[in-house]
A = this chain, B = another copy of it.
Amino acid sequence: MRFWGIEVKPGKPYPYHADNVQGTLHVTQATLGLGSSTEKSILQCSTGRKNPVFLCSLLPNKTEACPLNLEFDEDDLVSFSVIGPRSIHLSGFFEAADGDELRDDYEY
């Protein structure tokens, strides 16, 4: 499986740590989830070493999707979270470090 996708919900930080897989995760798109609130929702990334960094800001009925180009390795320990009322869907793909054999273990 090369495709990767998650839904990050408000109030539920989503940790990412690829314990058992060698490779690089490419996060390439953020899309606003369903909901009626017209307040903006911000995606941020925490690393535990300093303040979270904003990755994008989605505005209902104006900008509901945003391309990203982020890469994470097996030694990255990060957490995605949302500031705002609506969830944000992230998608991208996983590039295994050496060959195909590890991809199926990757339960995203």
Contacts and interface: CB of A to CB of B under 8 A. Distances in A.
Copies in the complex: 5
A21 interface: no
Interface residues of A, number: 51
A75 B90 CA distance: 21
Given A3-B47, A7-B51, A71 B57 contact: no
Interface in A42-96: 42, 45, 47, 49, 51, 53-59, 61-73, 75-76, 78, 89-93
Interface string A8-46: 000000000000000010101101110000001010010
Contacts of A91: 45, 53-55, 70
Contact of A64 (B3, B32, B59, B72): B59
Nearest to A68: B29
Contacts of A49: 107
A54 B64 CA distance: 11
Nearest to A40: B64
A91 B26 CA distance: 13
